[in-house]
Amino acid sequence: MDRTEDSVHLTYAIRERTPLWLAEKLVAAAIEQPEFRRVVLPRDLEGPALTDRLGETVRALTTFLGGLDLDDAADLVRQAAVHELGYPT
């Protein structure tokens, strides 16, 4: 005689965080800065112009990250870790 019984299955997912995830959270805050909101023209996406734009961006990003208040950033990152549903990377 076949019997079926109800059962309950629980799955726990551990959200792993990586240094790349931390960097993404820090860089995401840059969207509020005007220097990161400028349009990169199509003509600047090749050759020496692209190298120049990349250099400008690296310098701006270095300045931005160097000026962050790490205690404030830690609070924001902690909140993201608690509230994000998943991490695709």
Per-residue pLDDT for 62 more than 60?
Answer: yes
Provide the number of structural domains found in the chain.
1
In a domain, 2, yes or no: no
In a domain, 14, yes or no: no
In a domain, 10, yes or no: no
DSSP symbol at 81: H
In a domain, 25, yes or no: yes
In a domain, 51, yes or no: yes
Per-residue pLDDT for 12 more than 80?
Answer: no
Q: Is 76 exposed, middle or buried (0-12, 13-18, 19+ CB in 10 A)?
A: middle
In a domain, 5, yes or no: no
Q: Which pLDDT score is estimated for 24? A: 94
In a domain, 88, yes or no: no
Chain segment 23-58, per-residue pLDDT in tens: 999 999 899 899 999 999 999 999 999 999 999 999
Q: What is the pTM of this model?
A: 0.71
In a domain, 4, yes or no: no
Domain residue limits at 42: 19-83
